[in-house]
Amino acid sequence: MTKKAVFILLAVMAAAGCKHGKDTPAESPVVRVFDKYLYPANLDNVIPDNISKSDSIVLANDYIDKWVRKQLLLRRAELNLTEEEKNVDEQLENYRSSLLIFKYEQSLIKQKLDTIIGIVEIEKYYNDNPANFLLNENLVKAVFVKVPRKAPNIWELRRLYRSEDEEDLKKLEAYTFQHAEKYEYYNDDWVNFAEIEKELPYRIDNPQNLLRYRKNYEVKDSTYYYFVDLKDFRLIGSVAPLSYVMEDIRTIIANKRKIQLINKLESNIYNDALNKGYFTIY
């Protein structure tokens, strides 16, 4: 162990002693930068309980290094900035005020905000604001299968992946489990068609035309067959399906409620103070 490591370890142990409430004599500093000192007690909150000595040394060294760099930069700033530039009292007070108000508002939101957002309210917002939900991507519900060209019974796979029958779906799942390189069932949730496109070996020149006029799409390369069954689609520029944007709408409504709650709070505080003569505008 190096001399520096031993020194740091002693500082760490001293800090640990403080945690257990032992009476200690006046501490010797760990490090000095100009007229600023760092003491073992300052490391108290940096070093968790029940960690090894080696980990304690690593944490202490890292903290000390950052503290030294910070003090050096601070000293350089104080030497090079004008008195006007160093006067940050107003900024500090503004930051303190903003932080206190923010914490109070968050506490109020936690206590009073109604977080239950029903489907009726979501549907109303969706129907009232269709222009807010225009798609910038093509969405599909689809089945995608990628199988090696040497896979058996490709003709049966072609029938299964296009079928709407529940039993055929089970057979498709069993087949793909055994033979497919990749199988994706996107019939329950909308997915960006680009997610399927990137799995295909060749670029589709006009995806929108494909979605408009083709229900099934098959392509192959030297190694694999690729099968896509398109169950439904929504094109770029059309209104997104409600299910696709439902969580976005829920977030929008929740944020609107927060803003309304904060505005109501500010108005109530203002009007109460006005009625009680707590402030005067000259």
148 and 224 fall within a common domain: yes
Domains identified in the chain, total number: 3
Give the type of residue at 255.
N
23 and 56 fall within a common domain: yes
121 and 169 fall within a common domain: no
Give the type of residue at 109.
I
- Return the minimum-mean-pLDDT range out of 19-28, 46-55, 99-108: 19-28
State the alpha helices, DSSP H only, in the chain.
3-19, 53-80, 83-86, 89-112, 119-128, 154-162, 166-179, 193-197, 207-213, 242-275
pTM of this prediction? 0.70
Distance CA 225, CA 151 (A): 9
Contact yes or no for 211/238 (Cβ under 8 A): no
62 and 147 fall within a common domain: no
Residue 96's pLDDT is what? 95
158 and 95 fall within a common domain: no
Contact yes or no for 191/139 (Cβ under 8 A): yes
The tokens of 168 are what?
């055929």
64 and 93 fall within a common domain: no
Residue 13's pLDDT is what? 52
* CB-count exposure of residue 164 (10 Å: 0-12, 13-18, 19+): exposed
At residue 264, does pLDDT exceed 50? yes
Mean pLDDT over all residues of the chain?
89
Which of these three, 66, 83, 100, is where a domain ends? 83
- Return the minimum-mean-pLDDT range out of 47-51, 158-162, 213-217, 227-231: 47-51
- Return the minimum-mean-pLDDT range out of 26-40, 139-153, 258-272: 26-40
At residue 17, does pLDDT exceed 50? no
Residue 18's pLDDT is what? 45
Pick from 125, 100, 65: which is nearest to 252 by CA? Answer: 125
141 and 54 fall within a common domain: no
CA distances from residue 249 to 55, 138, 156, 235, 256 in whole angstroms, order as listed: 47, 20, 43, 20, 10
Residue 56's pLDDT is what? 87
Residue 145's pLDDT is what? 97
149 and 217 fall within a common domain: yes
Return the SS3 of 139.
Answer: strand
The two beta strands, 191-192 and 182-185, are unpaired
At residue 9, does pLDDT exceed 60? no
Mean pLDDT of 46-57: 86
Distance CA 239, CA 242 (A): 9
pLDDT-derived band of residue 24, with 50, 70 and 90 as boundaries?
very low
Residue 41's pLDDT is what? 86
pLDDT-derived band of residue 10, with 50, 70 and 90 as boundaries?
low
Residue 180's pLDDT is what? 95
78 and 95 fall within a common domain: no
187 and 152 fall within a common domain: yes
145 and 21 fall within a common domain: no
Helix (H) or strand (E) holding 184: strand 182-185
123 and 203 fall within a common domain: no
What residue has token string 């039993």? Answer: 167
Return the SS3 of 216.
Answer: strand
Show the domain range for 188: 135-234
Mean pLDDT of 73-86: 92
At residue 2, does pLDDT exceed 70? no
Reported as a single tens digit per residue, the pLDDT across 99-133 is: 999 999 999 999 999 989 999 999 999 999 999 99
Distance CA 85, CA 32 (A): 26
